[in-house]
Amino acid sequence: MARTGPGLRIAIGVLVAVVAVGLPFQASGFQSLELAYALTFAIAILGLNLLIGYSGQISLGHGAFLAVGGYVTAIGQQRYGLNYLVTIPLAGIISGLIGFLVGLPALRLHGIYLALATFALAVAAPSVMKKPADLTGGVKGIILPPYTSLVPGLSDDQYFYFLCLLITVILFLVSYNILRKRPGRAFKAVRDGELAAAAFGINVSTYKTLAFAISAIYGGVAGSLYATATGFVSPDSYPFQLSILLLVGAVLGGIATIEGAIFGGLFTEFLPIFSQQALTPISRQLANAAPAVTQGIVLLIVMFVARQGIAGLLRQGYAALRGRLRTDAQTLKPAGESPPTGIR
């Protein structure tokens, strides 16, 4: 094994950890909250990526799972007096069950048709949430109690950031393990050729619905954190644009990569904010339109020049860096990082 490989890997890991833990102490409370939002989006995008990138099923409706998670959290806290630490896993479980149910009809749909059907899910979700008004608060929605820090020395926002960070790390490790083992290989086999996968004894239906369920669990947990951070759920919190935003984040970060979800989350949170701020001095009207235009242009750029997204670019950079270090160290032939499969 290469001598420099693990060293470089550990160095990058330590750097990321230091930045992730140190950030909230440098940032203001509001910025910590923004970072918590970015982590929340990263969780949702990771789930979406498991579905789209690894099992090959398009979803334009993931915002619906965030809505389920958010409403489970709000109803659980307001009606049944549950602690939000209880409602987070509960939101994941219920959303996962719904994801499993959605995955069943999705088995019959492919490509563009699945995109249309899941798009319908995203569009319908807000009006469905509105309907049982005594349960969901109707158009007005439900106000959630604010979170308070349980750790002395941390402000409420810092505490919430670390809670999100902890959950993000756990969920990233879980998906890393899922993808490295049997289910991950099965997902990829199904994605690359259903017939061939079936011929190798993979139960295609089981793994496709499983991918939907896992991805919905991630969406539900993200929705729960999102609702807790906002302190409020209403049908308007989950427009279909949210689903599109998540897909954009997944593509920008890098489809079929795990670490891409982090970049995707950061972009989803900060790209609209920065583009709006940059144009506000020029004209308010321009600033309001800026997020949509930048989002579209960045998407096109990614599609034209870097289809593996940011994670793909970084992996190339990493491989190049490692190759250079290795030739300096005169080690054996490069094992090389496996190139991201990306989307074709």
Residues within the interface to other proteins (CB under 8 A): 52, 58, 60, 105, 108-109, 111-113, 115-117, 119-121, 123-124, 127-128, 130-131, 195, 244, 247-248, 251, 255, 285-286, 288-297, 299-300, 303-304, 307, 343-344
In angstroms, the CA 257 to CA 49 distance is: 7
User: 56: which residues sit within 8 A by CB, 6+ positions away?
Assistant: 187, 190, 191, 192
DSSP 186-245: HHHHHHH-HHHHHHTT--HHHHHHHHHHHHHHHHHHHHHHHHHHHTEE-GGGS-HHHHHH
Least distance (Å) between residue 242 CB and other proteins: 13
Residue 305 CB, shortest distance to other proteins, in Å, is 11
- What are residue 146's phi and psi, to 5 degrees? -70, 150
Closest CB 52 distance from other proteins, rounded Å: 7
**Closest among 28, 27, 33, 46 to 226, alpha carbons compared:** 33
Task: Kindly state the smallest distance separating residue 74's Cβ from other proteins, in Å.
Answer: 21
281's tokens: 């001095």
Least distance between other proteins and beta carbon 210 (Å): 20
151 φ, ψ to 5°?
-110, 120
- How many residues make up the chain in this entry? 344
Nearer to other proteins, 66 or 106 (CB): 106
